[in-house]
Chain A
């Protein structure tokens, strides 16, 4: 059974940093591209970042480029999202998602809530 379990969310002040993790199991993590997708009540679903299976290719939404860094450790079956210079508008539930063919997301974690507030 595919499982994705996010952790690392919490309350952080504007300008602060946070690192999210996503522990994967039940599939061959090292051959799967992965993404982070976030959701806010006001803006719905927003793709944040993606990484190829070997980490060669990394992609970012314009809204987080230069502030967020995606990475993975295939030996630990874990995906990461390092977030810095956080803003109030980064407040959201952050999901990790496994890619199916191309950039379709066939499995999602339950999400971790990030709140940016003073």
Chain B
């Protein structure tokens, strides 16, 4: 089973700053199979990025994803107040078929 490790655990930034979140896999992951989600308190996760770099419907272009192999990055170019939340990466595989999530990065207002 592939383990996803996210860093940092908590990121403290101010609105307008750039955020860079990391997701490292214990073994190589196909870029096609990597996603990022945002979760706010009391809400379900929301899909932001899939296929490592494709934005989901309705996601602002300040969110971007990149990476390949074992290292993936979510970048938020200019933080808006509503972006402060917890972010999870997720991958899936076909042998065996299953999905796994990272432990999350909390993005908090500095």
Contacts and interface: CB of A to CB of B under 8 A. Distances in A.
Interface of A: 35, 37, 44-47, 50, 57, 59, 61, 95, 100-106, 108-111
Contacts of A100: 47, 50, 56
Nearest to B103: A44
B99 A47 contact: yes
Interface string B40-66: 000111110011000011000000000
A102 B33 contact: yes
Interface in B72-96: 88, 90, 92, 96
A47 B47 contact: no
Nearest to B32: A102
Contact of A45 (B46, B88, B96): B88
Interface of B: 32-33, 35, 37, 43-47, 50-51, 56-57, 88, 90, 92, 96-104
Which interface residue of B43, B46, B47 has the most chain A CB atoms within 10 A?
Answer: B47
Contact of A108 (B35, B45, B51): B45
Contact of B56 (A47, A57, A106, A110): A106
Nearest to A43: B103
B44 A109 contact: yes
A108 B99 contact: no
Contact of A59 (B45, B51, B98): B98
The 5 closest A-B pairs by CB, nearest first: A103-B92, A108-B44, A47-B99, A45-B101, A104-B50
Which interface residue of A44, A46, A57, A101 has the most chain B CB atoms within 10 A?
Answer: A44
A111 B44 contact: yes
Contact of A103 (B33, B44, B103): B33
Contacts of B50: 100-101, 104, 106
B44 A106 contact: no
A47 B103 contact: no
Nearest to B1: A62
B23 to A, nearest CB: 13
Contact of B98 (A57, A61, A111): A61
